[in-house]
A and B are shown apart, each in its own frame.
Chain A
């Protein structure tokens, strides 16, 4: 009966493994790439480290705080809208009370299938940005015109 015992034990163990949950957690890096931003001082054109940075994003239902850093920050990642909207509006400030600068990021989107857990990701092409309310951000400098991954800086904010 030893053979049968081992056999049924194997079946039992494999059935246990099959009971682990579906791989439905999308691990970072595979999903829709975020916008990577760095900061520059407009007068000198050199990279700047912010003492504090606050960024809100409008995903279609009003402003949602995405970044609220009181510490020194040299780069931020901003998730953009994934719906059919051809632009995302972000609001930037250096203090919590005054998140006043409005920046509009225009793009065209394309879809790409990733995996069962992540579903479909958006990639952004023809990216351009305009500063609508220029305080404290004075200008933007477009570094990449497409957002397909998060390795390169896509946009500089000039203060």
Chain B
């Protein structure tokens, strides 16, 4: 942890020096929030969606609250299918994530550039239809049971680790991050554990990793 302190001290120091030219700012420790927003759209997953069954559209809004602390919210919509091992399921629905992240290391010239880590709470409210849940049999006598479509919800926590960098001198940023996710709770249809959840992905296991490659606009 000592290294972290040295590290954050080093960058805070640079930060202070950078602003030391303007007399007042370096003294001001008081919290003053100026409205600022970075609005982004996940280009990579939307692009992949053109060529696969997984259609996902997601975006985020983040706002700097304190020097290195940012609040962030994601919203999205996913339509997906799960066809494996005798299962045939479709889901579609929106999801929402709320959280915050901390700039671990940022650029001395532009404090919006840097690496960050944080956490989010997420929920998804979706419609699912299990057209086939397998009944494992012997000698090729496998069959399946179908269930009508129903509305369910799932909730998970996720970490977020990523970086963002300004595109030249424009108000555009590239924001790349990965999200380790842990499924906490799901409502179930007739006790069937959901195999796929919008925004979370394959959910037969509680742990999953997501990624996003965003183009964002700062104003």
Contact = CB atoms under 8 A, between A and B. Distances in A.
Interface residues of A, number: 38
A4 B139 contact: no
Nearest to B136: A31
Contact of B204 (A32, A111, A116): A116
A66 B144 CA distance: 22
B159 to A, nearest CB: 8
A18 B202 CA distance: 11
Contacts of B136: 26, 31-32, 82, 118-119, 121
Contact of A15 (B117, B205, B209): B209
A14 interface: yes
A83 B178 contact: no
Nearest to B211: A15
Contacts, number: 103
Q: Chain B, interface size: which category?
A: 35 or more
Nearest to B8: A3
Contacts of B161: 7-8, 11
B135 A119 contact: yes
Nearest to B193: A116
Interface stretch (A37-45, A57-65, A128-136): A57-65
Interface of B: 1, 3-4, 7, 84-87, 104-105, 115, 117, 133-145, 161, 178, 180, 190-193, 195, 202, 204-205, 207-209
